[in-house]
Amino acid sequence: MGMDKVIEKKKGIRPKHIVWGLGILVIAFLLYKVVFAETSSTFRAEKDKLTISTVEDGLFNDYITVIGNVEPITTIFLDAEEGGKVEEKLIEEGEMVKKGDVILKLRNNDLNLSIMNSESSMAYQTNELRNTQIQMEQQKIQNKQQLLQIDYEILRLARNYEQQKALFDEELIAKEDFLKAEEDYLRAKKNRELIFMKLVQDSIFRENQKIQMDQNLGNMHLNLKVVQQRREDLNVKAPVDGQLGLLEAEIGESISKGQRIGQINILDNFKIKALIDEHYIDRVKRDLPATLDRNGTNFNLKVRKVYPEVRNGQFEIDLVFNGTTPDNIRTGQTYHIKLELGESGKAVLLARGGFFQSTGGQWVYVLNENESEATKRNIKIGKQNPQYYEVLEGLNAGEKVITSGYEMFGTNDRIVMK
């Protein structure tokens, strides 16, 4: 019986060993990625194309720079007191005017006709009142004549009564003749009392009527002046001395009553009007100091008025010069103004940059020590001026930050420098 043949194991690497080895390498690589590799998203950027700023300890000047336009400190608007068609234009824009100078002449035929009718009507009423006053004076004279006449009559009857009484006492006349003379005399005296009472009442009535008529006449004269002034208002005049800065009227153009047609600028002083971002509306107050530089010389200003209305994300302020005014300043000139919002103080400073538009100042990319990469870090920003942000939390002096725009970085947490 034959013996079984012993099969010897083959030595060397077999295919299954290769498979097992590859599997072990894959598992080891995955473990390395899980344990040791960086899990955050990464963006590779060219360092020389980025703006990198160093965080500093320094003095933070709390100010903003705004652009302001020079305007006259006072502007008087010209409105048409009466409507009409422009007949003549005597003064052009930009010319200096004196108070009372005629700038425009208007023509209004309907107004002229109305004024003529009013003048005629008031002249008639005035004449009627004057005639009434004359009649009252004549009546007053007649009343005096009547009183004088009755006094004369009483005097005559009194004399006759005395004579008749004397004759009656001597029994030279009949009693009836004496009684008639006595009755005539007494009736005349009673009649005088009635006439006198009537004259007193007439006098009081006439005096009151005269006062009323004088008032009416005075009112008519005032009305006549007003009517005549309407004709004068067809001449548009300068209300003050100044410069005619705007005139929107041409010959032949129809102007409505109350229409604004121009303005006069008072050039004895100037103000500067500036627009400011609404972000600062709670910090800009009246009397805040400001400066502007002109040819190397600083001029002081202060905020005179803050307009509360916000339009297109901005609000207006008026500034006036606090002391010396620049020579040859002109309406419409533009200046860059440094507006102080608060006192200076020590702070951690970060240069302004485009990153703020992407992050709102809530985080930045901070470089490591060898500047080979930058990682995302949350920060807190306080005040800002045209050069720096005031950093309240998250950064220390000496650290370096990418301050250029972050648009290209997307949502990556890490920036690796090439």
In a domain, 245, yes or no: no
Please state which of the ranges 16-25, 125-134, 187-196, 332-341 shows the lowest mean pLDDT. 16-25
Q: Is the pLDDT of residue 409 over 70?
A: yes
Count of structural domains within the chain: 3
Which of 208, 232, 256 marks a domain boundary?
232
In a domain, 161, yes or no: yes
For residues 234-256, average pLDDT: 90
Residue 352 Cα to chain centre, angstroms: 35
Q: Output the average pLDDT for the chain.
A: 86
Q: How many residues does the chain have?
A: 418
Provide the angle, in degrees to the nearest 10, between the axes of the packed helices 175-232 and 109-169: 170
Q: Are 371 and 333 part of one and the same domain? A: no
Which of 340, 364, 392 marks a domain boundary?
340
pLDDT at 316: 95
In a domain, 247, yes or no: no
In a domain, 2, yes or no: no
- The residue range of the domain holding 311 is 64-69+268-340
pLDDT category of residue 210 using cuts at 50, 70 and 90: confident
Is there a contact between 391 and 379 (Cβ–Cβ < 8 Å)? yes
For residues 256-276, average pLDDT: 90
pLDDT category of residue 311 using cuts at 50, 70 and 90: very high
Q: Are 160 and 223 part of one and the same domain? A: yes
In a domain, 199, yes or no: yes
Residue 400 sits at the vertex; the CA angle it makes with 399 and 403, to the nearest 5 degrees, is: 135
Q: Are 273 and 296 part of one and the same domain? A: yes
Q: Is the pLDDT of residue 175 over 70?
A: yes
pTM over 0.85: no
C-alpha 163/C-alpha 178 separation (Å) is 9
- The DSSP secondary-structure symbol of 311 reads B
C-alpha 203/C-alpha 140 separation (Å) is 8
Q: Are 198 and 141 part of one and the same domain? A: yes
In a domain, 291, yes or no: yes
Highest mean pLDDT among 7-21, 118-132, 187-201, 303-317: 303-317
CATH code for position 304:
2.40.30.170
Which of 301, 317, 340 marks a domain boundary?
340
In this structure, the strands spanning 289-294 and 334-340 are: antiparallel
Q: Are 326 and 362 part of one and the same domain? A: no
